[in-house]
Amino acid sequence: MSRIFSGIQPSGELHIGNYLGAVKNWVALQQRFESFYCIVDYHAITVEYEPALLRERTRDMAISILASGVDPERAVLFLQSAVPEHTELAWIFNTLTPLGELERQTQFKDKSSRQESIPVGLLTYPVLQAADILLYRADLVPVGEDQLQHLELSRLVARKWNARFSPEKPFFPEPKAEVTPTPRVMGLDGTAKMSKSLGNTVGLLEEPAAIWEKLKPAVTDPARVRRTDPGTPEVCNIYHLHKAFSPPETVKHVAVQCSTAGWGCIDCKKVLFESMKKELDPIRERAAEIRSNPATVDTTLRAGAEKAHAVAKETMREVKERMGFAP
């Protein structure tokens, strides 16, 4: 069975953008692959953060992931900081990674341009990411399109290390991208990617009444000024959310009703709201159940870390042996 690795930052409860873009896919992939899912808390400290909030957000993220359907019996769910080999391997990879490769990473250019003093961790973040993936010798990494450049760096690091220390038979596989089927989810303002910092999200665990209050004013096709104006579904974010939440026959119906002005945008949003409720109600209920028994989360993450650690330790043993470290 091929192995996949995927990481997510501990940003608190999931919003539907993270859910559709990553975690929903994790739930499907755990059926087909040996899956390692990691809450990458070391990545979260490359920017300013509050220690107490990090703890709370890590727990909330774990609850959201488990409530979404990641099954600890099928997949290994763990915290990056609980497996010290991640940073150990990252150091080794730091010694092989060309500075220029890191400086030209789009995310580094973007984030560093907004900071006066740039922490080294922001620059070497993709090296830690390479270590995260290669520590488990993962064959595949489910990624969004904006992560493809970092994955390419992981492939480069694997190639460089193999060429230097394991030329006969490559030890690290060059991980391939499993691009997520849901394209990036736009926020309810319809102009930017859904993101907590932009305040345009719908929380995965939000109560239905709160979700409806957000959907009502959400931006639609600007050409539909009057109820009688026909619209173009493809330019409307609500239509794309239908594609994520509604059954295919409803999506077809939406397209027809929109382009013929058969219904208004509020009618369309009411149908979307019902589809969302159908998928999200059970997740919210499961999350409440998990939250009422906090020990479950700790036990699950600890058990996951033990399984991950067993694999990580073995990888590091082989890496160190090939690199000439004394046993």
Q: Which residues are catalytic?
A: 111, 193, 196
Amino acid at 262: G
Using the Cα atoms of residue 284, residue 289, residue 294 and residue 295 in order, give the sign of their dihedral: negative
Chain-centre distance of CA 130, in angstroms?
16
* Cβ pair 125, 98 in contact under 8 A: no
Select the span of 86-94, 155-163, 220-228, 294-302 touching ligand SF4 (CB under 6 A).
Answer: 220-228
Of the pair 102, 254, the CB lying nearest ligand SF4 is at 254
What is the rounded CA–CA span in Å between residue 246 and residue 275?
5
Is 240 near ligand SF4 (CB under 6 A)?
A: no
Q: Which of 40, 238, 312, 319 binds ligand SF4 (CB under 6 A)?
A: 238
Of the pair 22, 265, the CB lying nearest ligand SF4 is at 265
Where are any strands of DSSP class E within the chain?
Answer: 3-8, 34-39, 75-79, 140-143, 176-179
Q: Which of 6, 25, 30, 220 binds ligand SF4 (CB under 6 A)?
A: 220
Q: Which of 108, 224, 241, 244 binds ligand SF4 (CB under 6 A)?
A: 224
- Helix (H) or strand (E) holding 276, with range, is helix 265-291
Of the pair 158, 265, the CB lying nearest ligand SF4 is at 265
Contact letters for ligand SF4, residues 258-277 (x by CB under 6 A):
x------x--xx--------
Buried b (16+ CB within 10 A) or exposed e, 246-258: beeebbebbbebb
Question: How many residues of this chain interact with ligand SF4, rule: CB under 6 A?
Answer: 13
The dihedrals phi and psi of 77, each to the nearest 5 degrees, come to -110, 125
Which spans of this chain sit near ligand SF4 (rule: CB under 6 A)? 220-221, 224, 231, 233, 236, 238-239, 254, 258, 265, 268-269
